[in-house]
Amino acid sequence: MNEHNIVLEYSYDLGIPPIPNKTLEGFAAELDIVKFEFHRTHWSVKDVDLYRTLLKNSQPRRQQPKVFQLAEIENIEPSLVSAMMPFSSNFNAVYAALKRTAESVGLRCRRADDIWENPAVIQDVVWLIDRSRVVICDCTGRNPKFSTKLASRTRLVAKSF
């Protein structure tokens, strides 16, 4: 690099398929691309988060369940841990220990009864699971077959089944 020239080196990752212009035109405004830029070859510097914009607009939309709602695009919060357990004071000590442990490593732990953002508690439960990096389920006293139906981000904890 000198005062008049900048040299860039780049390479294509052949494992990543190209994005057709037609697709990019659908969210061009988010990329700060104007129409004429689709019809000429040039380099351009934009003040946008290319990775996040492409991720948001390129992921397939999620199929919506009938009982509760999911965000159209998965958005996992890297520091969020959810604790799934019965809403009972018998589990308060377990939940307090989970919160302390999570906080000690820079994470925040919540359970659905902390939220109360939706009229139906199931929506708060689903929202929490869907956005969490880690889901911890206390299955104490539950049917062991229940554990086979849980998602891959889930860690099971049980005193006894």
**pTM of model > 0.75:** no
Of the chain, the end-to-end C-alpha distance in Å amounts to 66
Same domain, 100 and 34: no
Q: Which domain holds residue 146?
A: 77-160
Q: Is 63 inside a domain boundary?
A: no
Q: Please, are residues 103 and 130 in contact by the beta-carbon 8 Å criterion?
A: no
Q: What is the pLDDT of residues 106-161, one digit of tens each?
A: 999 998 777 777 677 778 888 888 888 888 888 777 655 544 445 444 555 555 43
Same domain, 81 and 131: yes
Query: Which CATH number covers residue 154?
Result: 3.40.50
Q: What is the pLDDT of residues 60-115, one digit of tens each?
A: 666 666 766 777 666 788 899 999 888 788 889 999 999 999 999 999 999 877 77
The token duo for 63 is 């199929």
Q: What is the pLDDT of residues 1-29, one digit of tens each?
A: 567 787 878 888 888 788 888 888 999 99
Alpha carbon 104 to chain centroid, angstroms? 22
pLDDT of residue 154: 53
Same domain, 133 and 97: yes
Q: Phi-psi region for residue 96, left (φ > 0), alpha (ψ -120 to 50) or beta?
A: alpha
Domain count for the chain, please give it. Answer: 2
Task: Please give the Cα distance from 127 to 41 (Å, whole number).
Answer: 43
Same domain, 92 and 44: no
Q: Is 119 inside a domain boundary?
A: yes
Same domain, 83 and 131: yes
